[in-house]
Chain A
Amino acid sequence: KQEVTQIPAALSVPEGENLVLNCSFTDSAIYNLQWFRQDPGKGLTSLLLIQSSQREQTSGRLNASLDKSSGRSTLYIAASQPGDSATYLCAAYFGNEKLTFGTGTRLTIIP
Chain B
Amino acid sequence: ETGVTQSPTHLIKTRGQQVTLRCSSQSGHNTVSWYQQALGQGPQFIFQYYREEENGRGNFPPRFSGLQFPNYSSELNVNALELDDSALYLCASSLAAVTEAFFGQGTRLTVV
Interface of A with B (CB < 8 Å)? 4, 31-32, 34, 36, 41-46, 49, 89, 91, 93, 95-104
Inter-subunit contact A41/B33 (CB<8 Å): no
Q: Once the chains bind, are B98 and A31 in contact (CB under 8 Å)?
A: yes
Beta-carbon contact of B33 and A99 below 8 Å: yes
How many residues on B have C-beta within 8 angstroms of the other chain's C-beta atoms? 28
Out of A41, A42, A95, A101, which one reaches B42, CB within 8 Å?
A: A101
Give Cα A49–Cα B98 distance, bound, in whole angstroms. 11
Residues of B within 8 A of A (CB): 4, 6, 33, 35, 40-45, 48, 50, 55-56, 58, 88, 90, 92, 97-98, 100-106, 108
Q: Please determine whether B101 and A99 come into contact, CB atoms closer than 8 angstroms.
A: yes
B97 touches A97 (CB 8 A): yes
Contact B56 A103 (CB under 8 A): no
CB nearest neighbor in A for B45: A98
Nearest A residue (CB) for B88: A41
Instruction: Report yes or no: A42 in contact with B101, Cβ–Cβ below 8 A.
Output: no
Q: Please indicate the chain B residues that have their CB under 8 angstroms from the CB of A49 in the complex.
A: 100
